[in-house]
Structure 1
Amino acid sequence: MSGRTRRRARAARPARAKRVVLLSLGALALVVVACSVWVGARAAISYGDVSAARAEASAAVAAVAADPVSAASRSDRLRAVAARLEDAEGLTGDVVWRASEIVPFVGANLRSYRLTVEALHEAVGRGLTPVVTDLARLETAVSLADRTVDTETVAGAAAGLRTAERALERGRTMLREAESGPLLPPLASGVREAEELVDGLHGTVSSLSVAARVLPGAIGGARAKNYALLFNNNAELRTTGGIAGAMSELTADGGRIELGRQLVPEDLNPPAGAAIPVTPEERALFGTRLGSYIQNVNLTPDFSRSGELTAAHWRAALGAELDGVVSIDTASIGLLLEATGPITVDGRVLNKDNASKVLLRDVYLEIGGRDQQDAFFGELTRVMFDKLFGAGTGTVPVLKALGMAVDQGRISIWLADGELQRELAGGPLAGPLAQLTDDGAPVGVFLADETAGKMDTFLEGSVTATCHAPAATPSAGDTGKSGTGKASTGKASTGKKTGRTVTATATLVSTAPEDIASYPWVVTGPHVPDLTTGHIRTQVQFATTDSLRPTRVSVDGEAVTAITRVIDGHSVSIATVDLAPGAVSVVVAEFAALPTRSPTVERIVATPTATEFEHYAEPGTCG
């Protein structure tokens, strides 16, 4: 080869390489464009299916909730909705779509959209559609007028409802995953709407699933069952809502429910020196009064223990065994009256609007004497029972009102049968402590009155929970200024992450009037040592899962020595505050997460009250 030829060859190589690169880039660009068109087209088609299906599903869910008897007639419509969602899921699940999910920002939105579609299909196709017939059967299985439940029909729906409940749980998990990443506002809004729909479905189906597994054994079977009904008065707070100021006996035989004897605390409280034994941990937290008075069985947030103590009181005082304990608070009466209409008790008309005022305040100002007040609440129980189980009362409105009370933590149940009790575990019916979980609610704030009056009609405030993820410590030798303007120590640091914590805060406000000291002693309480008449003394309990350890408790910014013990595997820390009329106090508890645990905060479990209390949790993962 001549020199000229070699020079031409060398000159041609860069040109050929450039052409190859350009051709490759062109091909890659073509592939990207083709993939974009492919994904965009499929997204557009699926979006139409999803939008129509979501609207139809929302309408169908609302219709089924309003009239479960007609649910079976909507099964064809729901199947059509599920088919639309299945088509949309098919459009978002191919290899091209999945590969596009790795593209920065765009990929996060594609993944979120796919997961939302899958979640909706799971919820409607496998969660709701297969059980609409069961929902209709369940509604007809309950006859309020006859005070009966067809336990065989209820038991027959248990398996299908459990399968549906699990499908809805999977849908909720997918939607939680869909929330992660930088999402476009319209998509983020769509995910939230889908969550509301699936969460609502899950709550309904989960409650019915538990009922279908528990009711046949709890009120059916070969023998009659005996239960204690504790009527909790929110005017004097305890962890489940209030003191057990009135008690009733309930019997269930072959699915039929009857109201038995009406009791007052004096019928069950043991004589001096004969208190029900409590554990050393319980004694340190609550004193011996936990076992001395039936009114105090729910000082502890562990409702299983409250049930055991109630059964012990019942056995000792009446010589009878209990199959369970049902606790319901005063504020639930207003919810039920919205479903049943007004009632008249001892000449007083109670309705959904005035029930709390009459029961928590007027009774103590207008009815003189503890015996007369006890008689009023006993009459209230009888009249309310007759109204609930009377002709003309709609089953669906009553069940909705009960469901709302359960969701608010106003109803708790303990069952002596361990197998049935395990079915309640983790749900709101199991009581305050049992609801704590690393998956969303690792901390709870519970209140108990120590004024011994009815002052909690004047107690308002808020409870909050916040998760603090790890933060990196300064690098070695950093001697600069901190963000607060204070000089740092200048000491070498490790650069490791620290500070995995959860903070729970209770803000308490007294709305008592200035002349509260002139109110009857039954309102302000008997003389309590070191407590001024008209002030409110409250025990604030902070309880956590075993993933958290208490590190500091403060009252109004000052650290205090809190009493801390472990109950049923949960840490419980207690601080006490006194409030003058108009005063505000802030109690803060800080907890450190164990290195191997990553609890998430989505909600806070708290004592239900009849006054204004805001519950807020700042979502986050402590890990």
Structure 2
Amino acid sequence: MSSTGTARRRAKPARPPWRRPALVALGVAALLVVGWAVWGGMEARAAAGHVRAATAEVSAVRAAVASGNLSAASRATEQAALATADARAAVDSPPLALASHLPGKAGEVVAAVRTTVAAVDAAVGAGAMPAVKAGERALSSGGAIRADGTLDPAGIADLAVSLEPAAAAARDAQVRAASVDAAGLPPGLSERVRQAQTGVAELSGGLSRAQALLTALPVVLGGDGPRTYLVAFQNTAELRPTGGIIGTWALLDVNDGRLSLSDAGSNDDLERLSGPVRDLGPEYRALYPAEQVSYSQNVGLSPHFPYAAQLLVDLWTAQGRPAPDGVIAVDPAGLAPLLRGAGTVEVPDGPSVTADTVSDVVLRQAYEVFGDDNAARKNYLTALVGSAFSRGLGGGAWDTSRLVSLGEAVSGGHVQLWTADPAQQEALEKGGAAGALPAPEEDAAGVYLTNISASKLDYYLRESVRVTGACNASPEITIELTNDAPAEIPYYVSTKVEGQAPTTELLTIALYLPPGRTVTSMTVDGQIADIEVLPERGWSVNRLAVAVPRGAPVQIVATTAGLATPITSVHTQPLVHDASVAAQVCS
């Protein structure tokens, strides 16, 4: 310190000439990184918003199709395509495109999102949108439906061809979506990617099935010459794995898309065969003895409808009748679409029916009205079939709404078709209209019920199937059956097995599992049950009989072992009340 008290300041070192520009550069770089990240975050949020918008539009598409409004479906599909295109543009923005190439987990996650969004965009833009527009054109311009309301096989063939590119694009999108390993993603994102993969797969499968079915229909509808089909009406109040016993029959003549009913009768006309039925192989013989399946009401003991159709043809031709070109199985839920827009159908000597009441009339009211007069009831049901077909096929023209309702009945198994033409049968199976038992897959199972009480109690049956097990190698399959029958029922509806209460239902349950998966134990209301295990068409069939009293539900629990693949889908048969199925969703 100087004598004047003033502090001596230390001289500051000179600032290097490069330091200020470097600091400025670092600051600019930091701002760029932050800006790039903010940009990427904004694009990611924008993509999520576009996906949500697309999801809402897809829901609108489904609602419009279900109501038969293809114009509204087309508009909603366009909006969904715009939203998925915007989502793809967002994930293809420079920040996210660059981030997808970063090393490590962060890059993998961004790449997975970009691939998934691209697959969804392709499925909607190149698959769903052109398919819906092609359907709208075909059904609104007289391409598939003539001015008089009859179906045009040539127009349907053109529609099938126009769907080929859309179905191919959807299949490519499914492959692209499936390439993403959802299990390796963060939990919340993993579930969303799986949902997208499922949605793309469902769209792809639906378009492929539609295209295959439309390819087969022109010939099935008599586009190259007249066809005659034996129509078997299944009574789902007495269950068989294909649907139900055959109560009535009809002959349906088809020529160039024009349909007419030429004859009808009851199952009394289908007498027992005097000789053996055709041999469907050793597996079939072991499961279903010939003395059972030589009776018309038992041709549907296997869930594979082509078997039932061929046996029914045997029954038909054994009585000296000409072989039909095919067999169509219809239950009351499948008959209902024919009555859409037909109003009330008057039936001689019995209750009238509408599209909304036909199931209840056939499966419940008829037994109450006619009581023990079985002959009168069968005559009434035969007349009902004739009246319903005449009114439905002749009294009202086909339109989009009725075709959509019929399509839903086909997809639900309420209408099944077999043809003697192998090429057409293959197309029908690909189109999901043949009632064929699906090929076994590692993530699938099947549950099929057979009425063994000679009752009509299955009108009151409720079925739920639940798969649990934390997605490990030993899931449990819980089948719950509830019998809601009233305390008082007509004798014809009641159980015919001695020693059982009239309202107690007796069923055989068949649990179908794929190769590599076995049942380690099966219980009925907590008690160990004996099961029979036999093969059918690649599946392992695990069978047991159960009694289902009215009121309290019965629980059948099967513990499985073997495959590490979770069970994510369960096949079931057509029922009066659709089965409730809750399969595993793993993340």
Identify which of 404, 411, 414 aligns with 1:400. 404
Give the CA deviation at 1:615: 1.9
User: Which string of whole-angstrom CA distances, capped at 9 and with x for unpartnered residues, describes residues 148-187 of structure 1?
Assistant: 43222222232332332233344456666586532558x9
Cα distance in 2, alignment partners of residues 208 and 586 from structure 1: 37
Distance 1:56 1:503, change over 3 A: closer
Give the match's secondary structure for 1:343.
coil
**How far did 1:532 drift?**
4.5
Alignment of 1:210-359 (within 5 A): 210-271=212-273, 274=276, 277=279, 279-334=281-336, 337=339, 340-346=342-348, 347-359=350-362
- AA aligned opposite 1:374: K
Residue number among 467, 477, 480 corresponding to 1:507 in the alignment: 480
Which residue number corresponds to residue 366 of structure 1? Answer: 369
- 1:550-561 aligned at under 5 Å gives the runs 550-561=519-530
Q: CA 1:153–1:99 in structure 2 vs 1: closer, same or farther (change >3 Å)?
A: same
TM-score, normalised by the number of residues in structure 2 = 0.82
Deviation, structure 1 residue 304: 1.9
Tell me which amino acid in the other structure corresponds to 1:609. Answer: L
Alignment size in residue pairs: 558
Deviation at 1:147, TM superposition (A): 6.6
Which deviates the most, 376-385 or 419-428? 419-428
Given the superposition, is the C-alpha separation of residues 525 and 53 from structure 1 closer, same or farther in structure 2, using an over 3 Å criterion? closer
Kindly report which structure 2 residues correspond to 1:362-511, keeping only aligned pairs within 5 A, or say none.
362-367=365-370, 368-390=372-394, 392-393=396-397, 395-425=399-429, 428-431=432-435, 433-434=437-438, 436-438=440-442, 440=443, 442-466=444-468, 469-470=471-472, 500-511=473-484
Q: 1:183 to 1:31 in 2, by over 3 A?
A: farther
Could you tell me the percent identity over the aligned residues? Answer: 29
Range moving further from structure 2, 142-151 or 602-611: 142-151
Residue 159 of structure 2 contacts residue 214 of structure 2 at CA under 8 Å; is this kept in 1?
Answer: yes
Q: CA deviation at 1:614?
A: 2.0
Please give the root-mean-square deviation of Cα atoms over the aligned residues, in Å: 3.9
Deviations 1:508-565 (A, max 9, x none): 222233344xx32x21144x35544432110111112334334333322333332222
- 1:614 is aligned to 2:580: yes
**CA distance in 2 between partners of 1:42 and 1:207 (Å):** 36
Structure 2 distance, partners of 1:576, 1:57, is 43
Shift of 1:605: 0.9
Contact 1:467–1:620 (CA<8 Å) still a contact in 2?
Answer: no
**1:104-123 equivalent positions in 2, closer than 5 A:** 108=109, 110-111=110-111, 113-123=113-123
Cα 1:189–1:349, aligned 2, differ >3 Å: closer, same or farther? farther
Aligned to 1:7: none
Instruction: Confirm or deny: 8 A CA contact 1:69 1:135 kept in the other structure.
Output: no
CA drift at 1:335: 5.5
Cα distance in 2 for partners of 1:144, 1:530 equals 58
The alpha-carbon deviation at position 429 of structure 1 amounts to 2.4
Deviations 1:108-138, CA, capped at 9 Å, x for gaps: 4x45542442133112221033334421343
Is the 8 Å Cα contact of residues 58 and 197 (structure 1) preserved in structure 2? Answer: no
2:239–2:245 CA contact under 8 A, matched in 1: yes
Deviations 1:206-241 (A, max 9, x none): 443122211123223543222221111111011122
Structure 1 position 570 matched with structure 2 position 539 = yes
The equivalent of 1:488 in structure 2 is none
8 Å Cα contact 1:270-1:317 kept in structure 2:
no
The alpha carbon displacement at 1:274 in A equals: 4.9
2:399 maps to amino acid: T
Deviation at residue 397 of structure 1 after TM alignment: 1.4
Q: Is the 8 A contact 1:345 1:383 kept in 2?
A: yes
Letter in 2 for 1:125: G
Question: Given that residues 289 and 296 in structure 1 are in contact (C-alpha distance below 8 angstroms), is that contact kept between their aligned partners in structure 2?
Answer: no
Asked if the contact 1:235–1:242 (Cα under 8 Å) also holds between the matched residues in 2, the reply is: yes
| Structure 2: stretches of 5+ with no match in the other structure | 1-22
Contact 2:519 2:559 in 1 (8 A): yes
Rounded to whole Å, the distance in 2 between the matches of 1:535 and 1:56 is 47
Q: Which residue of 1 aligns with 2:161?
A: 159
- Tell me the residue number matched to 1:495: none
Please list every run of 5 or more consecutive structure 1 residues that lacks an aligned counterpart in the other structure: 1-21, 471-499
What secondary structure does 1:605 align onto? strand
Cα offset, 1:95, TM superposition: 4.2
Alpha-carbon distance in 2 for matches of 1:577, 1:30: 72
Shift of 1:265: 1.8
- In 2, Cα distance between equivalents of 1:546 and 1:563: 16
Structure 2 partner of 1:150: 152
Instruction: Say which is worse superposed, 609-618 or 562-571, in terms of deviation.
Output: 609-618
In the alignment, the residues of structure 1 paired with residue 555 and residue 81 of structure 2 have an alpha-carbon distance, to the nearest angstrom, of: 52
1:403-452 C-alpha deviation (Å, 9 max, x unpaired):
222332322222222222222336642326226533x5x21100110011
CA distance in 2, matches of 1:154, 1:283: 40
Identify the range of structure 1 (280-289 vs 401-410) with the bigger mean alpha-carbon deviation. Answer: 280-289
Matched to 2:549, the amino acid is A
Question: What one-letter code is carried by the residue in structure 2 that aligns with 1:351?
Answer: T
Distance 1:27 1:590 in 2: 63
Q: What letter matches 2:358 in structure 1?
A: A
AA paired with 2:581?
H
Residue 5 of structure 2: aligned partner: none
Secondary structure class of the residue paired with 1:344: coil
Q: What corresponds to 1:535 in structure 2?
A: 504
TM-score by length of 1: 0.77
Partner Cα distance (1:93, 1:322) in 2: 65
Task: Give the superposition deviation at 1:402.
Answer: 1.6
